[in-house]
Amino acid sequence: MTPEFILGCIILIVGVIAVGFPRPKTYLSRLISLEIPGFGLLLIMLAYDEMLALVTFIGVTAISTFVLVRAIERKEAAQ
Partner 1 sequence: MDVAYPAGLLVVAIGIVIGFAALVREKDDLHRILLTDLAEVLALVLIALVATDLAEALILPGLVVGISELMAVSEVYIAREGLRAPKEPAFRIEVMESAPGILALILVAYGIFLSGFTGGVVAAAGAVFYFICRGHAEQFELIETVSGYAWAIWIGAFFIFMFLPQYWFFAVMMAGGAILLKVMAKMSLVGTMRGGPDV
Residues contributing to the site for partner 1 (CB under 8 A):
1-2, 5, 9, 12-13, 16-17, 19-21, 25, 27, 30-31, 34, 37-38, 40-41, 44-45, 48, 50, 52-53, 56-57, 60, 63-64, 66-68, 70-75, 77-78
User: Closest distance between partner 1 and the C-beta of residue 74, in Å?
Assistant: 4
- Give the angle subtended at the CA of 62 by the CAs of 27 and 4, to the nearest 5°: 95
What lies within 8 Å, CB to CB, of 40 at 6+ separation is: 8, 9, 10, 11, 12, 13, 14, 15
Nearer to partner 1, 23 or 31 (CB): 31
